[in-house]
Amino acid sequence: NIVRSKNRGMITISVLKKTDAGEVPVRAKINVTASNLTGQFRTFKVREVDEGNSIYYLGEFHVAHEEMLNFTLQILPEGSTQPFTVTFRQKFYTQ
């Protein structure tokens, strides 16, 4: 269940593996952290959603109006020994 609110953000993550037949979803261990511009860190959990032919991960977090968050995702795909890192920045508007 996802709680809707103007002060809540959501992240959706899919991990895909390239094959000869195209891309297929794979399970992964995912750690998500976010920091704001004052350096406050947040860690939040993601939960796996498996819909048969698609696997994705959902996470929810609190945001303030015009807050900028720097996200870091540490992703270890199933069957892999080497994790990889994804970073991005997002500004949120709640009003």
The model's pLDDT over 31-80, given as tens digits with 9 standing for 90+, comes to 999 999 999 999 999 999 999 899 999 999 999 999 999 999 999 999 99
Report residue 1's pLDDT band, with 50, 70 and 90 as the boundaries.
confident
pLDDT value at residue 92: 96
Report residue 2's pLDDT band, with 50, 70 and 90 as the boundaries.
confident
pLDDT in tens, 27-43: 999 999 999 999 999 99
Report residue 13's pLDDT band, with 50, 70 and 90 as the boundaries.
very high
Name 92's Cβ contacts closer than 8 Å, sequence gap at least 6. 9, 63, 64, 65, 66, 67, 68, 69
Q: Domain segments of the chain: what residues?
A: 8-91
pLDDT value at residue 50: 96
CA distance 8 to 6: 6
Which CATH topology does 8-91 take?
Immunoglobulin-like (2.60.40)
pLDDT value at residue 20: 95
